[in-house]
Amino acid sequence: MGNEKLLDLMLKDIVLLSYVGLKIILVHGGGPEISDEMRKSGKHPKFVHGIRVTDEETIEILHEQLAGKINKDIVLSINKYGGRGVGIAGMDGNFIRAKKMLYKTTTKSGREVEVDLGFVGEVEQINPTVINYLVGTGYIPVIAPIGIDAEGNSLNINADTVAAELATAVHAKKLILVTDVPGVLRDPKDEKSLISQLTTVEAQKLIDEKVIKGGMIPKIEACIKAVQSGVDSVHIINGILPHALLLEILTEKGVGTMIERG
């Protein structure tokens, strides 16, 4: 959502949906902005299979950009368009308890090795009390995906993972992931190969068959877990398409990929 006009359009749609009675929780990332800020401070962003290696300097940048500037800009826009946005980071009130991610990968020689990603975490537990209160009183929570561990360290967590875990914790009806592709494609080079509907079993099969690969794998795994944990349906939509959110929720066919139990 690097395009400011597209982001504004989507935030207007979110406010509209809240006016007609939908209770919305917004979890955001901020990868490109964080990478830009790292380069300005002379740091080269480093990723391992799509996961940002996060040292002490990088976690400080996350605090400034993710929990600070990006979060507050989204809140300001929601409020400007008549909504009631409230910014919150996962570390506020220990609302997202996390643990350091132990990441293992396999070398070309077939040996399994552990990679230290720094201050990167995975969700251990979500306490939805504050979110339920905000939603129940008419606010739109805007969440920066930074968790806190038992020692008080803040940890960088994948936004899709946080959204999926939170959807489960608050018993959400729908989880919608906004990305820059139309949805799950049978052929990544052909947008006409969009798969509009999948069951969790079919989605897992596409991962196993390597039809789904790269950065889409963690998204789909998060989707499968959310549906298996009680969320009615998960949708993957293209945020570059104007009004994608309205088209997916309010039309029968939708515009992205919907994953459900089946």
Angle at alpha carbon of residue 167, lines to 153 and 160, rounded to 5°: 60
Whether the Cβ atoms of residue 199 and residue 141 lie closer than 8 Å to each other: no
Cα 30 to its chain centre, rounded Å, is: 10
The residue from 123, 145, 171 where one domain ends is 171
CA distance 101 to 82: 39
Query: Which residue type does 36 have?
Result: D
3-class SS letters over 183-238 = CCECCCCCHHHECCEEEHHHHHHHHHCCCCCCCHHHHHHHHHHHHHCCCCEEEEEE
The residue from 121, 144, 171 where one domain ends is 171
CA distance 41 to 172: 39
Task: Identify the top-confidence range among 139-143, 183-187, 208-212.
Answer: 139-143
Both 49 and 25 in a single domain? yes
- What is the predicted pLDDT for the residue at 51? 81
- What is the predicted pLDDT for the residue at 17? 95
Whether the Cβ atoms of residue 206 and residue 224 lie closer than 8 Å to each other: no
Of the candidates 164, 179, 201, which has an alpha carbon nearest to the alpha carbon of residue 255?
Answer: 179
Percent of the chain topping pLDDT 90 = 61
CATH number of the domain where residue 39 is located = 3.40.1160.10
Q: What is the pLDDT of residues 45-97, one digit of tens each?
A: 888 877 888 889 989 989 999 999 999 999 999 999 999 999 999 999 899 99
Count structural domains, the chain: 2
Is the pTM higher than 0.75? The answer reads yes
Which range of residues forms the domain containing residue 37? 1-171
Both 44 and 105 in a single domain? yes
Confidence of residue 12 (pLDDT cuts 50, 70, 90): very high
Residue 33 has pLDDT above 90, yes or no: no
Both 207 and 257 in a single domain? yes
Q: What sign has the CA pseudo-torsion 13, 16, 17, 18?
A: positive
Both 218 and 126 in a single domain? no
Both 158 and 185 in a single domain? no
3-state class of 173 per DSSP? coil
Both 115 and 180 in a single domain? no
Whether the Cβ atoms of residue 157 and residue 123 lie closer than 8 Å to each other: yes
**136 half-sphere exposure, CB direction, 13 A CA radius:** 7
- What is the predicted pLDDT for the residue at 13? 96
Both 134 and 249 in a single domain? no
